[in-house]
Structure 1
Amino acid sequence: MKTFKILPLLLLFVLASCSTVKVNSDYDKNVDFSPYKTFAFHKTGIDKSEISDLDKKRILRSIDQTMTSKGFTKNDNPDLLISFFTKEREQVNVNQYNAGWGYGWGWGWNPYLWGGNTYVSRYPEGTLYIDIIDAKKKELIWQGEGEGILTKDTERKDEKINEFVTKILEQYPPKKK
């Protein structure tokens, strides 16, 4: 009986821990990340990003909150400059289900006689790149990227952008192995 009470909680935990954002990062292995304590946004880099100003504000707000929660402070004379850019593309999935009689079709009953069904689905997929630059040397020292399905629903945009940013910045600063 206890198993039936624990099972729904376990299932809920597993579903909640699944993320729809795939992340990756790369960094300069010769950089010591421990002295960096302050950050600012690299305006010229961000201005080149081809997304709406509202989405830029959402991303900036999320980066600011995430970096602050990691102990970094925003400063006019920063150690780090943060920039980002995005890429968006339409994903198309085509699934075809065939059944019927004859060579190469397999055996079975099919209401469409010799044909099958073809289902096409389209959805926007995007990639968010976050660049962290050494402000004094003007060199890229870390880059994170997150890829996932985008939403046009304005109610969920904040949530989705926050998911992208937090998942990407979980990998900053890199842990030395």
Structure 2
Amino acid sequence: MKSLALGVALLTMLAACASSPTVHTDSDPSAQFSQYRTYSWLAKPEGVSPLAQERIIAAVDAQLQAKGWTQAPNGDVGVAAHVATEQRHDIDTFYSGPGWGGWGWYGMGGMGSASTTVRTYKVGTLVVDMFDTKTKKAIWRGTASDTIPSSPEKANAIAQAGITKMFEAFPPGSAPAK
């Protein structure tokens, strides 16, 4: 029973450490978000599969509609979304020796070996920009970044989590959702 409780605790800690998208938002402090009620899409996200594009659009639409906004042909706000990806690398080098010796004065030295591993992975960033259609000024930006998993289901879950987190305190000045 004790090992079961320990296993559950370990799984809970690992789940808490699981990757969560890094999200940032910025807004024009002079923008009067209380005046905006409608929006239209200026640019839909490119660089992703058509299915992922549809899911991103649906998730942004759902977030805006939950805030009381309505999609309209000539909305008060224009929404543009973009996806960018980049490859990154982690390099790990492991050293092994004969098990004796060490560094400094007391080290006896000795031949050891080194093994280097390079891990290549992709990071994706979703950027959502909003513009006042009358003034053509940028009024809000949200970004969500994370490692792109190979599984489409996991990638969709990360994108959804990023969009949800992005719109938690939207419009600016409102309290975050609890």
- Percent identical among aligned pairs is 26
CA–CA distance in 2 between the matches of 1:82 and 1:125? 23
Could you say which residue in structure 1 is the equivalent of 2:141? 143
Give the ranges of 4+ consecutive aligned residues of structure 1 lying more than 4 Å apart after TM superposition. Answer: 16-19, 101-104
- 1:91 paired to 2:99: no
Kindly indicate whether the alpha-carbon contact (under 8 Å) linking 1:46 and 1:84 is maintained by their aligned counterparts in 2: yes
Which of 112, 115, 123 is 1:114 aligned to? Answer: 112
CA–CA distance in 2 between the matches of 1:145 and 1:28? 15
Could you say which residue in structure 2 is the equivalent of 1:28? 28
Q: Which residue type is aligned with residue 71 of structure 1?
A: G
Deviation at 1:84, TM superposition (A): 0.8
Specify whether residues 107 and 82 from structure 1 end up closer, same or farther in structure 2 by C-alpha distance, changes over 3 A only.
farther
Deviation at 1:70, TM superposition (A): 2.2
Q: Which residue type is aligned with residue 173 of structure 2?
A: K
Deviation at 1:154, TM superposition (A): 2.2
Structure 2: gaps of 5 or more residues: none
CA–CA distance in 2 between the matches of 1:18 and 1:118? 26
Kindly indicate whether the alpha-carbon contact (under 8 Å) linking 2:20 and 2:158 is maintained by their aligned counterparts in 1: no
Q: Which residue type is aligned with residue 120 of structure 2?
A: R
Q: Which moved more, 1:53-62 or 1:154-163?
A: 154-163
Q: Which residue type is aligned with residue 136 of structure 2?
A: K
Structure 1: gaps of 5 or more residues: none
CA–CA distance in 2 between the matches of 1:18 and 1:99? 30
Q: Per the alignment, in what secondary structure is the counterpart of residue 54 of structure 2?
A: helix
> Residues 4-153 of structure 1 correspond to what in structure 2 (within 5 A)?
12=12, 15-16=15-16, 20-42=20-42, 45-46=43-44, 49-100=46-97, 101=101, 103=103, 113-153=111-151
CA–CA distance in 2 between the matches of 1:98 and 1:14? 28
Q: Give the TM-score, by structure 1 length.
A: 0.77
Q: Per the alignment, in what secondary structure is the counterpart of residue 30 of structure 2?
A: coil
Q: Which residue type is aligned with residue 135 of structure 1?
A: T
Q: Give the TM-score, by structure 2 length.
A: 0.76
Deviation at 1:132, TM superposition (A): 0.9
Deviation at 1:21, TM superposition (A): 0.6
Q: Which residue type is aligned with residue 30 of structure 2?
A: N
Kindly indicate whether the alpha-carbon contact (under 8 Å) linking 1:88 and 1:126 is maintained by their aligned counterparts in 2: yes
- How far does the alpha carbon of each residue in 1:81-128 deviate from its partner, in whole angstroms, 9 at most, with x for none? 111112101111011122434657x969x9xx5113322222110111
Kindly indicate whether the alpha-carbon contact (under 8 Å) linking 2:130 and 2:139 is maintained by their aligned counterparts in 1: yes
CA RMSD of aligned residues (A): 3.5
- 1:158 paired to 2:156: yes
Q: Per the alignment, in what secondary structure is the counterpart of residue 34 of structure 1?
A: helix
Deviation at 1:18, TM superposition (A): 6.1
